Structures are given as C-alpha cells and as structure tokens.
A = this chain, B = another copy of it.
Amino acid sequence: MVSIDEDRFEETFREYSAIGATEAGGLHRLTLSAADGEVRDRFVADLEELGLEVRIDELGNVFGRREGTDPDAEPVLIGSHLDSQPYGGRFDGQLGVLTALETLRAFEDASLEHRRPIEIVNWTNEEGSRFKPALMGSGTFVGEFDVEETLARTDADGVTVAEALAEIGYDGDEPCEPREEYHAFLELHVEQGPKLEEEGLSVGVVEGVYGMAWLEATIHGESDHAGPSPMHSRNDALVAAADVVAGVRRLSNRLADDVVTTVGELEVAPGSINVIPSEARFTIDVRSYDDDVVADLVAHAERELENACEREGTDYDLEEIWRIPHTEFSSMVVETALEAAADVGASHRAMVSGAGHDASYLNGLTETAMVFVPSVDGKTHNEAEHTEWADAVEGAKVYAETTERLAE
C-alpha cells in the first residue's frame, strides 16, 4: 500500500485551479480554450517530469504511460478530464485527473513495481459546453463518434474542433482509438449529488449509471391580445406548458424511488408581455437506474402533455432526442475498489450515478468503474462547487490502492 503525499496533492490542485480561475473561486476553462491549453501544457510537463511516455491523439486526448514489469500486459487506464463548465467548479473532472497524477507520483516515490503498464489520460471535452456532444474525447476513442465528423464540429463562433485543437497545439498525431486492449479503466469524480454527504461518507464506489431519456416538447396554441381576449377563448401554450412542468415534477413521486425529472429549458413565443403565447418549447429529462422505469416515465410524460393540451385546447409535438440505457460497471473493478476502500479504512458505500461520465463510454471498451467523493450540498456545475479536502484525500487513497491492485 503506497502513501500519497497529501501536501503535494493539495498544492498541485491549488496550482492547477489557478489556470482559468474565476473571481468567485471557480473555474472557467472551456475545452480547447487558451486556459485549457495552458493547463494541458502543465499536465504534459508533469507527466514528463515523472518520466512517462506522453502521446496526444488527433482529438487532443493526452495519455502518459508508466511501464509495468510485463510490457505486454494489458494496461490499466486511469484519469478524467481537465475542461470545465462555463463558470464551473474546480473539482468536476480536474480532481479525477490530479488524483490519477498523484497516484502515479506516489508509485514513483515508492519505486512501486507493477506487472501491468498504467496509462493516465485527460479526455478532451467532457463537458460539451463549447462543442457538442459532451464526452467527445472518450466517446470518439471508443468508436461512438466518427473522428472526421467530430473534428468538423463547430462552437457558437463557427470554430471547428480541428481549428481549436491546432490553435492550442493539441492536434496530436496518434489515431483516436485504442492501440491495444486495456485491462481496466478507473475514474475518480465528484458525486455532483448530496448522498455521500447526507450519509457522512467519504467515498462512493460507483456500480453503474442511471438510464435516461431526453424529450423535446413543443406546444402550439394561438397568440392573441392579452386585453380583449376573454379567458374562455384562449389557447395559451404557456399555460399548457406550465401544467406539464408541474406534471413532470409529480412523476418523480411515482414508479420508483430513484426517479429524477427535470425541465431545464423553456422558451415562449412570441414572448411579449401583452400577447398570449402561441408556442412553448421545452425539454424533459427523466432518469432512473431501471430502464423500464425510464420507458414508463417517457410514456407518462407524453400523457401529461396530452392531458394538458386537451385541457387548454392546444396541440403538441413530442420528440425523443436521446435515450440511453443504464450502465452497469464491471463487478471486478467495483469489487476491487470496495475491498481497497475497506482496507484503507475509508468510510464508503456502493452507489449508482445519476450523471453520465467518460467512464460510461469506457465501460463499453474495458472493465470500468468509478470512485466518487462527496460534493458539499450536492452542488456542481457552478463556482460554489466544493469537496472537503479530507474527503478528496480519502478518495485518492482508495483510488491509488485500487489502481495498484488492478495493475498487479
């Protein structure tokens, strides 16, 4: 069991957090921005200082390889992502990369010999805020997205991924694909929810990820003047949409106790103070670990839409824009992490994740699991995002120990 250097770990986290820092204590480090280029340069320098063989693929994913005693053994892959949400937090993604870095530094300190090679990775564009889709680097790596199509994706200013990569010098030569079989992938991430904190635990070993569906609904009513139009003559798209928002919220009380439902976008047309809305477009996000429950939620959401539109005399379109079944992570990696957590003495539990991660895609390629550390108040994707450092340290201990065992 190697020891991580808590001071070095914290100092490194502080230094990385200064790159793209916001005044409110968060990070604004959009993928492939200048700040992302700067933090990547620092990351590559740190890998080289550790004597790792660094390679960069055509999507900008950065790998560093520490050889094992058996160079032909399938390597263990560890890491996460260094990009952030717009005005996001310092922990989401970055903590996972730096935990993997500290793990390899601790191995180097201890001159640890392990049979399997270990590769550390920083995945490009996990967040998907600047370029769609999210999980771009890992998704392309596992073959989910076509390389050329992905490189041609544009941001809001029309800049392509390829141009943005070249701008910061991360348009690598390696093909974006596995060059060999991997033994396992392990990712540490902040929970982004309140469960660990509510239970007073430092570590979650993630057995899987919720299934989910994304719907886009448009309600068609009739615009009319807010003054002379009596209530009985109205077909108000927003009134119907508000009814659906309330109905979608109520769905979370049904079907299963892990259900979460969210309406995150809502736009009204024509959007004038004295005009009855003719159109309301909104999204519905429904999730559960049970794929059948997700299917039921989609059906119930459509029923809410039907009922609301019948009450208001409006029509609707409903499109399912994404559906992904739940992910079950590798029981081998999960068991290894649970045993490691017990052996290092970290308070922990097994759990599932409500959010997708790079690990979700890697799970299709190799044996995969994740380690979670708590998010204070469950807050994430904002500058107030925080993890108590003592929990980050506990997570790093579990992560290093799990990596060591996977690499044997």
Contact = CB atoms under 8 A, between A and B. Distances in A.
Contacts of A212: 227
A69 interface: no
Interface stretch (A145-153, A164-172, A264-272): A264-272
Q: Which of A194, A223, A265, A274 is packed against the most chain B CB atoms within 10 Å?
A: A274
A332 interface: no
A313 interface: no
Contact of A214 (B193, B225, B273, B380): B273
A381 B214 CA distance: 35
A226 interface: yes
A402 to B, nearest CB: 21
A264 B272 contact: yes
A40 to B, nearest CB: 25
A387 interface: no
B260 A355 contact: no
Contacts of A99: none
Interface string A350-369: 00011110000000000000
Contacts of A231: 249, 252-253, 259-261
B277 A225 contact: no
Given A192-B228, A225-B192, A262 B285 contact: no
Contacts of A356: 227
A137 to B, nearest CB: 19
Given A273-B283, A274-B262, A381-B223, A354 B228 contact: yes
A228 B264 contact: no
Interface in A214-270: 214, 222-231, 233, 236, 238-239, 241-243, 245-246, 249, 252-253, 259-268
A216 B356 CA distance: 37
Interface residues of A, number: 59
Interface of A: 191-195, 210, 212, 214, 222-231, 233, 236, 238-239, 241-243, 245-246, 249, 252-253, 259-268, 271-277, 283, 285, 287, 353-356, 378-382
Contacts of A355: 225, 227-228, 274
A231 B224 CA distance: 36
28 contacts: A192-B227, A193-B229, A194-B229, A194-B230, A214-B274, A224-B379, A227-B285, A227-B353, A227-B355, A228-B355, A231-B252, A231-B259, A231-B260, A236-B262, A238-B245, A242-B242, A242-B243, A242-B245, A242-B246, A242-B249, A246-B246, A262-B274, A264-B277, A265-B271, A265-B273, A266-B271, A267-B271, A275-B381
B271 A268 contact: no
Give this chain's copy count. 2
Contacts of A243: 242, 246
Contact of A273 (B236, B264, B277, B382): B264
A353 B231 CA distance: 15
Contacts of A272: 264-265
Nearest to A380: B225
Contacts of A263: 238-239, 242, 277
Contacts of A283: 273
B287 A227 contact: yes
B228 A378 contact: yes
- Most chain B Cβ neighbours within 10 Å, of A236, A238, A262: A262
Contacts of A253: 231
Contacts of A223: 381-382
Nearest to A261: B231
Given A212-B227, A225-B355, A239-B245, 18 more contacts: A192-B229, A194-B233, A214-B273, A223-B382, A225-B380, A227-B354, A228-B378, A228-B380, A231-B249, A231-B260, A238-B245, A242-B242, A242-B249, A242-B263, A246-B246, A262-B276, A264-B274, A273-B285
